[in-house]
Structure 1
Amino acid sequence: MTSKRAPRFGLARVMSKRGLCSRTQAAALITEGRVLLDGRRIEDPEHPTDLENAKIRIEGQAETSAEKRYIALNKPRGLVTTTKDEQGRDTVYSCFEGADLPWLAPVGRLDKASEGLLLFSNDPTWAAKITAPDTGPSKTYHVQVDCIPDIDMIVKLMQGVELDGEFLSASSVIVLREGSKNAWLEIVLDEGRNRQIRRLLAAFDIAVLRLIRIAIGELSLGELAKGEWRALTPAEVKSLA
């Protein structure tokens, strides 16, 4: 009887799955000749690799595998959610400068003008559960808009609209407070679509002045200061996925 073989994937993909770095970063490191697989230098990102048992070392790094990490950041406005921006804009990774962290990927996105709770992890399976459009946890936002929506408008936002082949809606909309010309809304989404709130409001000629994500599922932003981050507790990690 033959034993079951461990799954094999391209080396770059295995490095990404283990949380060593992104797949793109792994491919670059491999082609530069900086990756040793079971003691042998490999320069082909697609080299078949044992997902579970292969010993991988990146020259200049002591560890061959990364401990799973789960981080919450209070993203400031004006930072882009990317590892490296082609236009030279500041990225969310500037908030981690000087921290002794392994490579972490953003779990979902907040656009440059948005702020608030943003998660990072090197656990792609966990991240995929959170970002799944139809089954991931709900997201709660505080949104300042350039008008004072009446009850009819709130109903329309919850009923939704077809836009660019997608149906966009909010599961809950509550007016938090009103000014003379604008208002703050609490909007809850139970699905994840690209720039969903901005696109939904724009469909009704409502402009967003500020957008802050204050919670993902049961995890709230709390008292985390702008630009600061913290590790999630095991209970928080479990509650999200």
Structure 2
Amino acid sequence: MTDKVQKLLARSGLGSRREMEAVIAEGRVSVNGMIIELGARASEEDKIRVDGRLISITKQEDFVRRIVAYNKPEGEVCTRKDPDGRPTVFEKLPSAGKGRWIAIGRLDLNTSGLLLFTNDGDLANRLMHPRYELEREYAVRIKGEVSDDTIKQLKTGIALEDGMASFDRITFSGGEGTNQWYHVTLKEGRNREVRRMWEAVGCMVSRLTRVRYGSVVLERSLRRGNWVELDNSLVREIEKEVGLEPSAKPKHRTPQNPRRRKIMKSRPANKKSARPSRSSRR
């Protein structure tokens, strides 16, 4: 049985399927000694190399799909290595085993909150793809007056330089005077999209935290800078949500951040999320 090479490489944890397609298109991948083109297929027994390095492809029946939830603090970047020496979101994660962690989307330097990682590039690709319409929910603190017309405009659509954008829902969640909290949801993850939308209507974002991605909710007990690995039942829910066959069951107990023993919970996307924690409302 063969699969597309980008799918096999994504399963190995080298990156998302889209990233592997780019690597193949650059002529950096060979199968059994021959440089391949995009669309080539291979089996798990073939010798697949990237930049000359032999890649260990885990058999489908042995592959355990893993997901880690991380509460990103402000000031960390979503790259593996930063030329400016800033801390990265990958530094505090547990071992990914044979593969490596792939970030599911990004958060900019000044945005905190829920960031998901997986060892499966195929899952990462599906969780980020607009086709699956997974909601991202943010708690946003606005400095300035927000009128009913402003809310209507944000829900109807804002013209940004990379196209129209709108929030699916906007809910007032507290605050007084010129500092007010709102929860907003949208189904895409363009660069700094939430901030740019509010700025386009004349409102300044003074704090931004992602509190939900799809069915995974950021629990208040997960402190900033800490992670938790989702238990197998929640991984199964997410696999079903994006149409993936269940992976193998883990042979050992799901590892936990030593500072955080409680398993992450999920919540259907149509239910109202919790308001920002006390620390985020200060």
Place the TM-score, normalised by the shorter chain, in its bin. Answer: 0.7 to 0.9
Aligned mates of 2:158, 2:95 — CA distance in 1? 45
Q: CA deviation at 1:51?
A: 3.9
Q: Which amino acid aligns with 1:80?
A: V
8 Å Cα contact 2:13-2:100 kept in structure 1:
yes
Q: How many angstroms apart in 1 are the aligned matches of 2:49 and 2:190?
A: 37
Counterpart-to-counterpart distance in 2, 1:100 and 1:165: 37
Identity of aligned residues (%): 29
Structure 2 residue 74 is the aligned partner of structure 1 residue 77: yes
1:136, distance to aligned residue in structure 2 (A): 2.9
Cα shift at 1:211: 0.6
Distance in 2 between residues matched to 1:76 and 1:177, nearest whole Å: 22
Q: Establish whether residue 52 from structure 1 lines up as the match of residue 49 from structure 2.
A: no
- 1:109: how far off? 0.7
Other-structure match for 1:17: 10
User: Partner residue of 2:246?
Assistant: none
User: For residue 236 of structure 1, what is the aligned residue in structure 2?
Assistant: 234
1:93 maps to: 90
Which of residues 218, 224, 227 in structure 2 aligns to 1:226?
A: 224
Count of aligned positions: 223
Query: Contact 2:8–2:57 (CA<8 Å) still a contact in 1?
Result: no
Q: 1:170 aligns with which of 150, 167, 171?
A: 167
Secondary structure of 1:94's match? coil
1:156 aligns with 2:149: no
Contact map agreement 2:142 2:206 (CA 8 A) in 1: yes
Matches within 5 A, 1:187-226: 187-222=184-219, 223-226=221-224
Mark the runs of 5 or more structure 1 residues left unpaired by the alignment.
32-36
2 CA distance for matches of 1:132 and 1:212?
A: 21
Shift of 1:134: 4.6
What one-letter code is carried by the residue in structure 2 that aligns with 1:104? W
Per the TM alignment, residue 57 of structure 1 is displaced from its structure 2 partner at its CA by 9.6
**Residues 226 and 20 of structure 1, relative CA distance in 2, 3 Å threshold:** same
User: Distance in 2 between the 1:78 and 1:43 partners?
Assistant: 43
Q: Does 1:104 align with 2:97?
A: no
Alpha-carbon distance, 1:197 to partner: 0.5
Separation in 2, partners of 1:45, 1:92? 33
TM-score (norm 1): 0.77
CA distance in 2, matches of 1:15, 1:134: 22
Greater C-alpha Rg: 1
Structure 2: runs of 5+ lacking an equivalent: 243-282
Give the match for residue 122 of structure 1.
119
Give the CA deviation at 1:18. 2.6
Residue 231 to residue 57, structure 1, CA distance change in 2 (3 Å): farther
CA distance in 1, matches of 2:2, 2:170: 48
**CA deviation vs aligned residue, 1:103-130 (integer Å, no higher than 9, x gap):** 1110011111101111111212211221
